[in-house]
Every structure is written in C-alpha cells, then in structure tokens.
Chains A and B, each alone.
Chain A
Amino acid sequence: MAAKKDRKAFVFLLLLIGFVLAFAASLVFGQTPVTVEQAVHSFLSYDKNSTEHIVVRSDRLPRAVIASVTGASLAVAGALMQALTKNPLASPSIFGVNQGAIFTVVIGIVFFSVTSLASLAGLAFLGAAAAAVIVYFLGSLGRDGLTPVKIVLAGAAISALFQSYTQGILVLDEAGLQDVLFWLAGSVSGRTLEMLQPVLPFIGSAIVASMFIGKAINLLVTGEDIAKGMGQHVAALKAFMGLLVVLLAGSSVAVVGAVGFIGLVIPHAARFFAGNDYRWLLPIAALLGAVLLVAADVLARLLIMPQEVPIGVMTAMIGGPFFVFIARKGVSGV
C-alpha cells in the first residue's frame, strides 16, 4: 500500500515537472522565436522596446496561464462527471455543456449587447448548467437509469439543438459571426489575463473544493447503497459535485470557447496512474489536464506556422479517436 502511494506521489511529481516544461515551452515556441534567457528576462527586467519581451508578456504568458487553468478545470469537471454518472463516456462536451454555454453567450452578445466579461461568464454558466441538467435528466429516464448510450445520445441531440439556435442567430447577425467564429472553434489565443479574472475565483475554489471530497467520492463510487449505509449524505454530495461541474465547465467555456474531449480523455489517463482512488485521481487529473492543454496549444502554434490550429480542433483530434476507442472497448462500467 505504501509502495502504491509512493508511486502515485512519484507520478504527481513527474507531472509537475512536465507541467513546468510545457509551460516554459509555451513561452518560448511560436512564430516569434524567443530564447529561454529572453523569456526569463522578460519577467525579471521587462524591456518594453524588446519584441520578444512583449510577445512573452502580452501574448504567450496569458495563453499559457489560460490553457493551464482551463485544462485543469475541464479535466476535474470530467472526472467528477464520470464519478457522478458512473459512466466512462461522461464529460462536459458530451453533456452538451459547450453548445449550451455558447448559445447563451451569443444571445447575450447579439440581443443584449453584453460586453462585460463577468456578465458573459455568468451567461456561460447559465447555458452550461441548463444543458448539463437537461442531459442528466433525459439520460436518467427509463428502467436502467443513466446508461452511457442514453447520455451520449441525449447530449448529441441537445448539442445539435443549441447549435442550430446559435447558427440561426448568427446568420441573422452576420457581423457577430466573424467575431465569435474562432471562439466557436475553441481557442486560447488573443485572450488577456483580464478575461480569466472574473471566472478565476470560481475555478480556483471549485478545484480546491474537489480536492477535499476525494474520500467521499471513493465511497460514492463503491455503490450508493453502501455509501448511504455508511451514513453519507449521497444526495447532498451529488448535488455538490454537480455544482462543481457546472462552475468548472461553465468557467472554462466562457474563457476558451468550445474545447472538447479534455474532460473525457484526462480522467481515463489519470485513472491509469492513480487507479480509482479519487483522492489522487482528482489532483493528477488536474495536472494532466493542464499539461495536455498547454502542450496541445504549443503544438497548435507550430503545426502550420504562420497560422494556428484552433485548440478545440486539436483536442477533438486527440479526443475523438480516444472516444471511439472507449466505445469499442465497451462501456459497461467505469
């Protein structure tokens, strides 16, 4: 047991190093080559006449931070969802959270000329929560409760529904389309740290809170009857987890748009390292999510220079095949 714990701690440490490396790579690589030395100097002795310093501070640092935060947040949201629904295919994008949030944000921008980032984030929460609740409700109808297939199908239909409304609105307001197109595809570029600010308290507190409920989740996933027998307030725990999911997924989509599959892939990868022990699984998933999204963003910049692949496309290209793999393997249980 102690050896296993050591192994998990070792993995955690390795991931931490991986994260630092990915973060550094994100500051250094890109269309404007920057040396490590210049990157360091841009923080220690900022020179506003140096192109490299400006690039690092105003472009690369924000996107590295945003990718880290949203990657961690989506990964934890996915892990919580998979525990909550006992379903290996559950994740924010499968639940239609992205399209729900995009729909409410587009409504806010087009009809109510909302520009304040805090209000847009609030709208994104609303849409994300609405989509997730509808899909959860539809998926749990019927004799067998929440089956993977029902959730995936309900999520696909809700996504299609919200997407069609979004498309309808954007067609009527073509000027708005060009602005949100890159965001519809999901992107971490062209964003400032101010955009992260309004949602950071939510993401931060939700991630911290999720680190404390690992033990309770362990009990929950062994079976609700057992958990109830042990005196756990199952309904309260599930509601709390649902709230965390909405906060995490809603905040992320408000900042980066439709970035899918992180929440699907990462918990599985984390389970590979940490087993089903949620005390370790959640922190490892958070780190792994940050590493993956930062690395994907670096790759997205380098693949087709001077252009960029939208990060949502990158994650779908990684996550889509993974989804197919799990669906093929069979989805009887987590």
Chain B
Amino acid sequence: MKREGTLPPSSFSLKTRTGRVLLLLFLAVLCTCILGPMLGNTLLSPLQVIQTIAGASGGANEFIVMNSRLPRTLVSLLVGAALGVSGALLQGVVRNPLAAPDIIGVTGGASVAAVAFLTYASGSVGIGWLPAAAVCGALLVSMLIYMLAWKKGVTPMRLILIGIGIAAIMSAMTTFMIVVSSSVSAAQAYLWLTGSIYGASWNDMYAMLAAVVLLTPLALVFAGSLNAQQFGDDTAAGLGVRTELDRFILLFISVVLAGAAVAAAGAIGFVGLIAPHIARTLIGRTFAPVITASAFLGGLLLFGADVTARTIFYPVDVPAGVFTAAVGAPFFLFLLYRNRNHF
C-alpha cells in the first residue's frame, strides 16, 4: 500500500520536466563552485580557478582560492541546502506554507545553545563540539514547541504562533548572554547572530557535508509518506502510512539540519522559507523532487546572498543574513497576502 505515496521513478528521469529542472539546478550549483572562487577583490578567470583547484597553479591564487573563497562557496551552498531541505520538510509536515525553521523558533534554539557554548564552555571544551551543542539546542527547543503546541494533536496555526513566542524568548536569552558576557565581543556575536559565512573553514565544510549527505537521502526515503499526508491524517493512515512516527522522523531530520546550519553560519533567516516555494513553483508538489530541488535552490540562494554580501560593500563583509532577510521578509509578506483567506 505504501507505494501509493512513493513517487514514480520517472520523476528523476530527463524525459520529464522535473528531471530537466533538477539537472539544470545541479549544473547551476556546479557552476557556482567555479564562479564563487572567481569573484572577490581580485577577479580570477575560470581557468585560473580550475587550475588552482587541480593544484596546478600555486602562489597567491592558491591562498585566496583554497583558504578563503572555495571553502566559503562550498559552505554557503551546503548551509543553504540544509536550510532548504529543513524548510521543505517542515512545510510538508506541518502543512503550512509559512513554516520555516527560523520563524518557528528552531533556529533560535540552536542560536541560544551555540552562544551559550561560546560564552560558557569554549574554554573547557573544544570548539569542535559547537555543532553538537547547536543541534542539541535545536532539538530541545523543537520538542518544547511541539509539546506546548500539543493539545489533542497539533494544529499548524498553534504550532506557528507558539513557535513565534518561543522564538522571542530565545532571542531574549541570546541577547542576554551577549550583553552580559565579557568574553565574547558583543559586536562579533551580534554579527554572528545575523548569520554570516565569514571565515568559513574546511572543517565547517566537512561537518555540513556530512549532515547534508547523510540526512537528505534519509529525508527522501520518508518523502513518500509526506505525499500521502498532504491529503490529511486519515487518508494517510488509510494508505498505510504511520503518520506520527514518520512525521517525527521527518521533523527530527529537519531540526538537525537547521541546527547544523546555525553552527556553521549563524542564524540565517528565510532561506528555509523561500527555497521550497520556488521548488514547488518549478516542479509541482511531489515531495522527493521538491526536497532535492529545495537543497539546490537553498544553496544557490545563500551563495548569491553571500557573494553579494562580500563583494558589494568590499572591504566590509556584510552578513549574508542581512540579504536573505531583505529579500525573504517581503517574500514572506507576499505569501501571507496570497494565503490571506486561509488564516
């Protein structure tokens, strides 16, 4: 019976529109891997970048490309992908087009844990544990939100309202730690909270790569159940989908991805909201391709924001989160307008 919900294998085939869109997005992502290292104060040619990555060049270019621009490009792609997938899963599970990890407080939970870690534990525990702390924070807060929203079941509206309330508390706790702590420079922490990929390292890249590569396929496995859930819990149960368990697993994946993204890049907003919407506009509602496309689109969005952020106001490195919010908040309002009769 579960086959009802899974997608026909042809979705990923090039003969369908979906397949072609996914291929194009994938190629676009590949291009950014070259484009990213090209752009900056010193412009490089595509050939120089490829030579440098292949190890054939050396000198100044190698430092710029390998130590700064390439890891930064890859981290922006991976963080964006994690946020895109996280948002797609969340919107699917709570069946609300306005849900996103940053809006309902998941990102806030990760930020509190990360700032607490930086403030109180970074002396005694290695900085390598920061992602674990952020993910734990995200998980704990999500559980809290889900429990508070639970009242003989969870309605999407209540989940979002309570998430917004929790997000406000989390932001107060973070502000508190930043203002009070003397060890973290308040200005630095403030920038970090906006979300920035400044100073991305290869370690960030590997951590994000592990999270995205392990969890996205897992999400795809459970995506079939999301298709069935779109028709409501009863239909899904009738189709043999174990709604609560599947929903829990999908939420878990979504939260872990959001937490990992915060650990690498701070609280970047709105990517998790926008990417799934563009994905659905491009390729419809079947979840496995939407999740895949959200990963690519999220990556591209954040890459675009980060490149804009580091080039336009050079030498100042504006946090990428400023640009994602400047684009994302109006988009959110547009969504609100389009759904104005449903709330």
Contacts and interface: CB of A to CB of B under 8 A. Distances in A.
B325 A327 contact: no
Given A150-B343, A171-B322, A317 B169 contact: yes
Contacts of B317: 171
Contact of B329 (A161, A310, A313, A327): A161
Contact of A327 (B158, B318, B330): B158
Nearest to B331: A157
Interface string B152-178: 000001101110111011011101100
Contacts of B98: 153
Given A161-B329, A309-B180, A152 B169 contact: no
Contact of B343 (A147, A161, A182, A320): A147
B165 A313 contact: no
Interface stretch (B71-79, B114-122, B123-131, B333-341): B333-341
A328 to B, nearest CB: 6
Interface string B303-329: 000000000010011110111111011
A185 B151 contact: no
Interface string A143-164: 1100111101110111011011
B316 to A, nearest CB: 6
Nearest to A316: B172
Interface in A174-197: 174, 177-178, 181-182, 184-185
Interface in A282-334: 304, 307, 309-310, 312-313, 316-317, 319-321, 323-324, 327-328, 331
A316 B329 contact: no
A152 B318 contact: no
Contacts of B313: 172
A142 B326 contact: no
Interface in B265-291: 269-270
Interface residues of A, number: 51
B151 A313 contact: no
B249 interface: no
A170 B162 CA distance: 30
A21 interface: no
Q: Which 5 residue pairs spanning A and B have beta carbons closest together?
A: A142-B340, A164-B325, A316-B172, A320-B169, A161-B329
Interface of A: 89, 138, 141-144, 147-150, 152-154, 156-158, 160-161, 163-165, 167-168, 170-172, 174, 177-178, 181-182, 184-185, 260-261, 304, 307, 309-310, 312-313, 316-317, 319-321, 323-324, 327-328, 331
21 contacts: A141-B340, A149-B160, A149-B343, A150-B340, A158-B329, A158-B333, A160-B269, A167-B325, A168-B318, A171-B317, A171-B318, A174-B187, A184-B175, A185-B175, A261-B168, A313-B175, A316-B168, A320-B168, A321-B165, A323-B165, A328-B149
Interface of B: 98, 103, 148-149, 151, 157-158, 160-162, 164-166, 168-169, 171-173, 175-176, 179-180, 186-187, 190-191, 194, 269-270, 313, 316-319, 321-326, 328-330, 332-333, 336-337, 340-341, 343
